[in-house]
């Protein structure tokens, strides 16, 4: 074989090997970036003093390229939707209105039909039930994979998302703290509803006197006290 041809072949092989090595190294670097980014978000989320602004800033950015960027964006979209749902749960549960329902000031302001109060209780219960259902759904593989399945990616990247990010997500769902907290608030709201309905049904039998609710019969007073004591 002509020596010049041999040299040309060696040069081509060297270039091909170099290109392959570049892409392998590039892919490795992108995967490392993705892993580091998700790990940092996880650490921030589990921190005692959670920096919500920093988490949102990271969820809104993309640090990888190419198909890895698609995987990263799918991961972050899932995390953002899940995070937003948890924030909404916290906002509803920490709403001052919840502790104000059975107060004399509310009785005076919204009684005796309690239209606003009844709407508030109904809306809050529905919101919490919807958020609870979403919270549970986020711990299913079907929900997690829905963020990547329609991206048209090669199976390598889909498997990367599934194995490294999703994992066995359903078996990880063991802490029922959020669900139990929601159920506790729903139980309180149900009692509120009973009390308010009782006051509406007997609106001609009570009044506010000296910052206290006073009934015109001991029987109704006892029924009211019994309902309130459910809390």
Residues 208 and 103 grouped into a single domain = yes
Q: Are residues 150 and 205 in the same domain?
A: yes
By C-alpha distance, which of 145, 178, 171, 7 is closest to 74? 145
Q: Do residues 185 and 216 both lie within one domain? A: yes
| Per-residue model confidence as pLDDT tens digits over 195-207 | 999 999 999 999 9
Peptide bond into 21 cis (omega under 30): no
Distance separating alpha carbons of residues 92 and 31, to the nearest angstrom:
38
Question: Looking at the structure, do residues 176 and 207 belong to the same domain, yes or no?
Answer: yes
| Domain limits for position 92 | 75-155+168-228
Question: Is the domain of 43 the same as that of 151?
Answer: no
- 60 and 101 in a single domain? The answer is no
Structurally, how many domains does the chain consist of?
2
Do 53 and 82 lie in one domain? The reply is no
Q: Is residue 93 part of a domain?
A: yes
Question: Looking at 64, 86, 102, which one is the last position of a domain?
Answer: 64
Domain boundary among 33, 64, 95: 64
Same domain for 34 and 80? Answer: no
Q: What is residue 199's three-state secondary structure?
A: helix
Is 82 or 168 the better-scoring residue by pLDDT? 82
Residue 44 lies in a domain: yes
pLDDT at 131 over 50: yes
Whole-angstrom CA distances from 14 to 9, 10, 101, 214 are 9, 6, 77, 94
Asked if the structure places residue 70 within a domain, the reply is no
Q: pLDDT confidence of 104, banded at 50, 70, 90?
A: very high
- Same domain membership, residue 174 and residue 121: yes
17 assigned to some structural domain: yes
- Is residue 104 within 8 A of residue 194, CB to CB? The reply is no
In terms of domains, do 103 and 43 share one? no
191 occurs within a structural domain: yes
Other Cβ atoms within 10 Å of 166 Cβ, number: 19
161 is a domain residue: no
**Residue that terminates a domain, selected from 44, 64, 84:** 64
Q: Is the torsion defined by CA of 119, 124, 125, 131 positive or negative?
A: positive
Tell me which residue of 183, 197, 182 sits closest to 227, measured CA to CA.
197
Region 32-46: mean pLDDT is: 88
Distance (Å, whole) CA 149 – CA 24: 25
Domain co-membership, 55 together with 119: no
Does residue 43 sit within a domain?
A: yes
What pLDDT is attached to residue 222?
98
Q: State the pLDDT at residue 174.
A: 80
Q: Are residues 137 and 224 in the same domain?
A: yes
The whole-chain average pLDDT of the chain stands at 87
């Amino acid at each position: 074989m002509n020596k010049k041809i041999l040299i040309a072949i060696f040069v081509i092989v060297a270039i091909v090997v170099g290109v392959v090595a570049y892409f392998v190294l590039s892919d490795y670097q992108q995967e490392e970036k993705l892993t580091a980014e998700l790990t940092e978000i996880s650490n921030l989320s589990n921190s005692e003093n959670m920096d919500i602004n920093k988490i949102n800033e990271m969820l809104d950015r993309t640090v990888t390229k190419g198909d890895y960027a698609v995987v990263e964006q799918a991961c972050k979209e899932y995390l953002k939707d899940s995070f937003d749902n948890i924030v909404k749960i916290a906002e509803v549960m920490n709403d001052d209105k919840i502790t104000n329902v059975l107060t004399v000031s509310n009785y005076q302001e919204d009684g005796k039909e309690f239209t606003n109060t009844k709407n508030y209780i109904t809306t809050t219960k529905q919101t919490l039930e919807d958020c609870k259902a979403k919270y549970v759904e986020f711990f299913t593989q079907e929900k997690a994979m829905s963020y990547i399945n329609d991206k048209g990616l090669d199976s390598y990247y889909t498997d990367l998302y599934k194995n490294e990010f999703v994992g066995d997500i359903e078996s990880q769902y063991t802490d029922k703290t959020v669900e139990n907290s929601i159920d506790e608030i729903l139980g309180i709201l149900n009692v509120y509803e009973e009390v308010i309905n009782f006051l509406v049904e007997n609106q001609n039998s009570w009044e506010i006197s000296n910052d206290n609710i006073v009934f015109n019969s001991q029987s109704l007073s006892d029924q009211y006290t019994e309902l309130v004591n459910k809390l």
